[in-house]
Structure 1
Amino acid sequence: MAERALRGARLGAQSFEDERGVEMAPRQEIEYVCDDGHSFLVVMSDEAEIPYEWEDPKTGRIGRLRDGTAPEKKEEKAARTHWDMLLERRSETELEEILTERLELLRSGEIGPPHLHRRKKKSA
């Protein structure tokens, strides 16, 4: 084990690359303001689409873009339930008929798990 040990470097803790010759992407500082007047800066790429709201990394409160206009709220569609999709295919009277038929078959023992079937009395 001692023969294979790495000496003189900490694994994963330090990068040996230097930043010479590396050109950073163009950036901009965006200012956000919380409801209580507290403001903070966020550094983003020049090409980034700037969001209207951002969470302050220090306080966790939501800040809004200074001098920004609020985006229009999108109309949210109500979630379609299984019942809604079923009603698109069948009417309630059809569903009542199907339910009645299936319950009769289940009670007669023609469908369903075998352990739920009632045993028929044998005639002598």
Structure 2
Amino acid sequence: MAERTLRGARLGGQSFEDERGIEFAARQQVGYKCPQNHEFEITMSIEAEVPAVWECPRCGSEALSVAGIKPEDKAEKPARTHWDMLLERRSEKELEDILKERLELLRGGEIGPAHLHRENKKRTSA
């Protein structure tokens, strides 16, 4: 039975591969500095596009590149209000007509809070 036992390596043990003949990719050190003056370097490939911002490993804030690479300004859309969205669906003339129609219904007692309907009924019957 001992002859059939499989032998293996423990997890995290030594590698059986050899580094001879392997050419590593060219690398560069990129420096960053956060607003709290923490300075650190990240190792990157020379072929990699270097980001302007990197998260600081100490405090987690955004650190800027020491090499002077500026972050891209994001084009922000102006905030759309309810009025803007309403104007996309209807013209101001249409809105004025709808307002007049609804005001007439409200004043006539056909729509609106229940207490307004009762008062109109009392006035008309008296």
Report the TM-score, using the length of structure 1 for normalisation. Answer: 0.54
Return the alpha-carbon distance in structure 2 between the equivalents of residues 68 and 92 of structure 1.
50
In structure 2, the partner of 1:116 is 115
Structure in which a larger fraction of residues adopt helix? 2
Q: Deviations over 1:63-119 (max 9, x none)?
A: 212325224323222121111111122222321221121122123222234x23332
In structure 2, the partner of 1:87 is 87
The count of residues paired between Structure 1 and Structure 2 equals 103
Q: How does 1:1-124 map to 2 (within 5 A)?
A: 18-20=11-13, 30-34=30-34, 38-41=38-41, 51-59=51-59, 61-67=61-67, 69-113=69-113, 115-119=114-118, 120-121=121-122, 123=125
The 8 Å contact of residues 55 and 63 in structure 2, kept in 1 or not, is answered as yes
Q: Give the secondary structure class of the aligned counterpart of 1:31.
A: strand
Where do 5+ consecutive residues of structure 1 fail to align?
Answer: 1-16, 22-27
Return the alpha-carbon distance in structure 1 between the equivalents of residues 38 and 98 of structure 2.
63
Larger Rg: 2
